[in-house]
Structure 1
């Protein structure tokens, strides 16, 4: 009999309190279940700052772009390191991963590429107007991810 493929759960985080709440909720609520699965903590390194700079000031100097990208890598590494520590406190050895790009797109792409069975994202609890202008990563993931998506909303 073939050994069953290990199930994978991915939690997408950013610097917000909402994604930290989603991670903590996941560990507190699903900890025992995911301890037997593979837990992946994912963060996106947004690349839109280059486009904003270019549309505002013209072409960005290459050294500025490199410096900004390096800074984002450091922020992502620190964020993932802290998340990994939190998981370890719950007895869970999580894998960490980061990708550069539009967060909503790279989250869905990573979930598909890694054959994730459940994607967990936090909700910023924006109203309809803010969502229309700013977009919603969680809404995008619910509508575009190839796996089930659990949206965790922080109580107000």
Structure 2
């Protein structure tokens, strides 16, 4: 580095969910990047929307607002539990973390968080879905590879 040149802090974000592969990606990042992290590791999870269509079909009509609110609260609690577990894993390894969550389609809110938080590297786990499932469901990692405004590292188990 030239004299007087300041090194830019690199922000790394690991996007996780309840899957084993996303926690493997977190562990991989801690094993391989721990010494090069110069700022807190950002751990992100998406809270899915309350599936009103499914609830409407199950209840034969418009679901009551209390049911929708209950599902949203459950999703929030699950997301916070996922983040707390990740924070504990990072803490045991001596890595400082920032945790964050947003409500929405995971692939979209991950890319939005990359922009909002000025992330320099996004790390995701690979669910290793088959071609047929990727066709119908889509791949979060594939979407982020093409739409995130930073380099994306997909960790396969």
Question: What is the TM-score when the length of structure 1 is the normalising length?
Answer: 0.91
Pairs within 5 Å for 1:55-134 = 57-134=60-137
1:149 aligns with 2:152: yes
How far did 1:134 drift?
1.2
| Change in CA separation of 1:54 and 1:2 when aligned onto 2, cut-off 3 Å | farther
How far did 1:124 drift?
0.4
Corresponding residue to 2:51 among 49, 52, 60: 49
Q: Deviations over 1:56-87 (max 9, x none)?
A: 54322100011111111111111101100100
4+ aligned runs moved over 6 Å, structure 1: none
Question: 1:97 & 1:134 partners in 2: Cα distance?
Answer: 25
Contact 1:48–1:102, Cα closer than 8 Å, also in 2: no
Contact 1:7–1:38, Cα closer than 8 Å, also in 2: no
1:13 aligns with 2:16: yes
Q: Which residue of 2 aligns with 1:37?
A: 39
- Structure 1: runs of 5 or more not aligned: none
Question: 1:9 & 1:127 partners in 2: Cα distance?
Answer: 28
Aligned residue for 1:151, secondary structure, equals strand
Which stretch shows the higher mean deviation, 122-131 or 42-51? 42-51
1:23 aligns with 2:26: yes
Instruction: Tell me the matched-pair count.
Output: 153
How far did 1:127 drift?
1.5
Aligned residue for 1:42, secondary structure, equals strand
Question: What is the TM-score when the length of structure 2 is the normalising length?
Answer: 0.91
How far did 1:4 drift?
4.7
Contact 1:10–1:42, Cα closer than 8 Å, also in 2: yes
Aligned residue for 1:120, secondary structure, equals strand
TM-align CA RMSD: 1.6
- Structure 2: runs of 5 or more not aligned: none
1:135 aligns with 2:138: yes
